[in-house]
Amino acid sequence: MAIDKSMNVLIVDDYKTMLRIIRNLLKQIEFNNVDEASDGAEALSKLRTGNYGLVISDWNMAPMTGLELLQEVRQDNRLRATPFIMITAESKTENVVAAKQAGVSNYIVKPFNAETLREKIEKVLAHA
Amino acid sequence: MHEHPAAGTSEAPGRLGALVLDIPQHDIAVAERVRAILGGRSLSVAEAALLTEIEDLAATVASTRAEIVAMGADDINASHIPSATDELDAIVTHTATATDSILESCEQLEAMMGRLGREDAQTLQDAVTRIYEACSFQDITGQRITKIVAALQAIERKVAHMIGLFSPSGANGRTSREPAGPASLLNGPQLPDAAMGQSDIDALLASFD
């Protein structure tokens, strides 16, 4: 199934450097419509007013964490089907389990490489 | 513990009086209370032993106070920890600035790729991608440093509590109650030996399917 790379992608991270890195890596794989948010609350606000085909979020942010954002997304009737990839340094089993139980589409542990990002995005969007 | 000379004699109140002269003001009240309880009678062997224990304890407290004053424990909170925290903050700021500079250069290189042949453009693209991947270190180190700062702040609270308990003035005491800790799932980056890799996480996710 062909992936629509013109979709809007929302990347969420409280480190501006990380947002810039992910944006540039997405650009390399031809996702050019990329928007940014610096925490879960800002992301949720953008998601509720915008139209995004994919969310790529960090976990450890304040005031709303990536997990809380994921839970809010999955409880929102309009947003619940939005593919959601967690990219985080949180690599404990309980983190992965909690994210999966909250409905994460895929999980990437930092530090990650461009190939892993591309592979996970393709896998998630193929099943969307 | 040393043998108390007052056991079984009427010297006990006098010995207690000497003790009162040797100890700080707020301990005098305790000693006077003991003397009032005795009411001038002789100490039994058990009471004498107890008094000796109290003397030893008072001596230990006095010695600990003197050591805390001598080591300048106040400096730990007043200077050392804030200084270390500032240095760590500076590391985060400087690495972020340096990383942004590297990323900007990479973006300029990417903008040039259209002017290169296909093979050279691909080589440049691969190199830039590896730089992007490597630059994510700044996020990881930032999170690690945040964990260190939190540990320093915990030490700061413990030191303040200790100073409050043992300092002569007792004025610096703070509650030892810990602030609400981070949510149990916010652990930050794991050390390499303890961390799950991407393949481990993939396998764990697949186990749900």
CB contact under 8 A, B195 and A28: no
pLDDT at B9: 44
**How many C-beta neighbours within 10 Å does residue A21 have?**
27
| Higher-scoring residue by pLDDT: B120, B80 | B120
Computed over every residue of chain B, the mean pLDDT equals 76
Asked if A24 and B103 count as a contact pair (C-beta separation under 8 A), the reply is yes
CB-hemisphere CA count at 13 Å for B144? 13
| Lowest-confidence region among A12-21, A106-115, B75-84, B196-205 | B75-84
pLDDT at B156: 85
Asked if A81 and A103 count as a contact pair (C-beta separation under 8 A), the reply is no
Nearest CA in chain B to A65: B186
| Domain spans, chain B | 12-71, 73-178+185-190
Q: What is the pLDDT of residues B55-81, one digit of tens each?
A: 888 888 888 877 777 777 677 777 788
CB-hemisphere CA count at 13 Å for A99? 31
Please report residues of B whose CB lies closer than 8 A to that of A97: 204
Question: How is domain A9-126 classified at the CATH fold level?
Answer: Rossmann fold (3.40.50)
Q: How far apart are CA A75 and CA A20, in angstroms?
A: 29
Using CB atoms, which residue from A17, A96, A111 is nearest to B103?
A: A17
Using CB atoms, which residue from B132, B185, B190 is nearest to A25?
A: B132
Nearest CA in chain A to B133: A113
Please report residues of B whose CB lies closer than 8 A to that of A20: 100, 103
Q: How far apart are CA B157 and CA B148, in angstroms?
A: 14
Q: Is the pLDDT score of B137 beyond 70?
A: yes
Reply yes or no: is the peptide bond before residue B24 cis, omega within 30 of 0.
no
pLDDT at B177: 42
Using CB atoms, which residue from B103, B125, B133 is nearest to A20?
A: B103
pLDDT at A122: 95
pLDDT at B28: 63
pLDDT at A75: 97
The percent of residues in chain A predicted with pLDDT above 90, rounded, is: 91
Question: Which value does ipTM take for this structure?
Answer: 0.85
Q: What is the pLDDT of residues A93-123, one digit of tens each?
A: 999 999 999 999 999 999 899 999 999 999 9
Mean pLDDT, residues A75-100 taken together: 95
Side-by-side strand order, sheet with A84-88: A34-37, A9-12, A54-57, A84-88, A106-109
pLDDT at B4: 45
Asked if A120 and A85 count as a contact pair (C-beta separation under 8 A), the reply is yes
Q: Is the pLDDT score of B16 beyond 70?
A: no
Q: What is the pTM of this model?
A: 0.71
Nearest CA in chain A to B101: A17
